[in-house]
Amino acid sequence: MARLLILTIFLPLAGALAVGLVSTWGRTVVRMVALLTTVLTLLAAAVLLAGYRGAPLAGGEYAVSELAWLGPESGLDVRFSVGLDGLNLWLFGLSALLLVTSVLVSWEAIADRPALFYGMLLLLGCGCLGVFTARDILLFYIFFEFTLIPLYFLIGIWGSEQRRYAAAKFFLFTLAGSVLTFLALLAIVLWDASQSGRGGLTFSIPALTASVTAHPLPRQLQWLVFAGLFAGFAIKVPLFPLHTWLPLAHVQAPTAGSVILAGILLKIGTYGFLRFSIPLLPEAAARGMPWLLWLAVIGILYGALVALAQSDMKRLIAYSSVSHLGFCMVGLFALNRLGTQGSLLQMINHGISTGALFALVGMIYERYHTREISRLSGLARRMPVMAFFLLLFTFSSIGLPGLNGFAGEFLVLLGMFQRGWAEAPAAVSGQLKVIAVLSLLGVVLGAWYMLWLVQRICFGPLREPHDGGPPAASPDLSLREVAALVPLAVFVFWIGLAPRWFLDPVGPALDRMADAMERPLRQVHTPQEKLAQPRIERGPRPGADFGRVSASSRAPRATATAWTSAGKGDRVAGWARPEQDRDDVRLDRDRGRGWLPRALPESGASRRRFPDQVRWSRADQH
């Protein structure tokens, strides 16, 4: 299976080369080669996904392949390392699926330099498959940057009137953020080298995750690294207020470019948070949780309200992406099991439904040469098949029960309400409750703007523009266009009716990540109380071997240990950890004293010994 994974990743690259070789044979041959390549890629990906589901992996790694570029003896352990696991499994499959859709929706739309267009589209598909499966930081960054180049040309050459400006803005935004992301990832590599004692630099993502878990970065460094990762991934999502490049890129891109951009490329940002920011920097993620949730919920509401004001179909769906990706971020940074599972499922759902909606807008544009909502009405009479698919994917987008969008949004909201109302750290409890309620409001607004769009376009009196020439006698969808949408429609029902089939393979990996965040959340957001001075009561039994620790109140869980001394046979009254009210202290029978462990913060512990009493102090508090 490892060889099949490599073949699947590089099949689009081979297809791009083949398209270049047959470029002089005519547009039909070029299109057939591109379609054959994407279909073979999808079949290979399906075999890999079926193999993963059939293996008892519990979210572990599958089809792993490694090839050393620079060995450890050189001081740089850089590898070509790819594999599937619970975090990237369905994103990999989604990438392969939408490549087929992209080729089919471009079949008649691209007449200018078709070989170059399909070559760029296949190169973009190779980059998307590679970025999700990379297990090496350097390889991840290469694929991450590689995806920018084909899409830049797809927008800049085959886009609409402002295509060059849109392409430049997209490229500069994402490139600037990705440079900061690479510097942050490099800082993690250097920290690992200083702590692990390997004697060299490793770029292996699994090795770095294990190492950083054992030797966490200091708090200030975590914040700096988290900010660097945030710069690149938040632009890619995009999170408010870093979203300004997205609507213009969508409106100006060709239909296939919009499908890939909305369906796959935006998920690289959320995947980056899932793969790097949360597992590698748990304390920074816990501290930044309220801020990121606020940005996400602002994006949900802002995207929905701006979508309501749009007169262009494509721009409306572009702003809906800002809103829907906000739900993915809300679920992800709820930092619990339900939220993370819902977030990953919603990433897939958004790719399916929004990719299909962009494809449908492109099909309408091919017939009427306009995307203005006010110029179209009553199209359900002329195009009943198109109206059916538009209604289906609209219902999917707004989360109708029984369809895929409901399963994802329900888990996201359930996870957020659980975090805000049942598991909220006391310090941020009020904020999380407000965020949970506002997220629910985003669902209502989403249904409003999407159903209003369908009402204006599909129903009412028939109105068709004629400045682009009279429409065909039967402008409904062709078999090719139906074939592009049917696989997506199948997954809309499949995920909606059987979400567990998709969650079971990835749930264990997500659950482990969510469980690992509980301790940092308690550490960071537990209110600090003033420490009381412990007292020693002289024990009644001179020869006692053990004393007893009782706690009149509780101290926060801590990450370092300080020690105090107690006399033999003394009863010590002081602090205990949150999960225990009393502790036993072993006393040294021979030396007549014992050491009492006390949980204190990393930088605040000091050690003092007194003959008649026990004291400890803090230099600072969280």
Percent of the chain exceeding pLDDT 70 equals 81
**pLDDT score for 613:** 37
**pLDDT score for 515:** 84
Q: In the predicted model, is pLDDT for residue 609 greater than 50?
A: no
343 or 614: which leads in pLDDT: 343
Confidence of residue 429 (pLDDT cuts 50, 70, 90): confident
pLDDT digits (tens, 9 = 90+) for 17-33: 999 899 888 888 999 99
- Adjacent-strand bridge partners of 453: none
Average pLDDT over residues 132-156: 92
Beta carbons of 243 and 299 less than 8 angstroms apart: yes
Q: In the predicted model, is pLDDT for residue 296 greater than 70?
A: yes
Q: What burial class does residue 335 get, using C-beta atoms within 10 Å of its C-beta: 0-12 exposed, 13-18 middle, 19+ buried?
A: buried
Q: How many residues are present in the chain?
A: 622
Q: In the predicted model, is pLDDT for residue 192 greater than 60?
A: yes
152 or 561: which leads in pLDDT: 152
186 or 616: which leads in pLDDT: 186
pTM exceeds cut of 0.95: no
Concatenated DSSP letters of 530-597: PPPPPEEE--S-TT-SEEEEEEEEE----SEEEEEEEETT-EEEEEE-TT-SEEEEEEETTTTEEEEE
Confidence of residue 584 (pLDDT cuts 50, 70, 90): very low
Q: Which stretch of 118-127, 213-222, 273-282, 406-415 has the lowest confidence by average pLDDT?
A: 213-222
Cα R_g (the chain), whole angstroms: 28
> 473 CB contacts (<8 Å, ≥6 apart)?
none
pLDDT digits (tens, 9 = 90+) for 87-133: 999 999 999 999 999 999 998 888 888 899 999 999 999 999 999 99
218 or 454: which leads in pLDDT: 454
**CA nearest to 532, candidates 603, 451, 610, 616:** 616
Beta carbons of 368 and 465 less than 8 angstroms apart: yes
Q: Roughly how many angstroms between the first and final C-alpha of the chain, as a whole number?
A: 49
**pLDDT score for 489:** 95
Average pLDDT over residues 554-561: 36
Beta carbons of 436 and 303 less than 8 angstroms apart: no
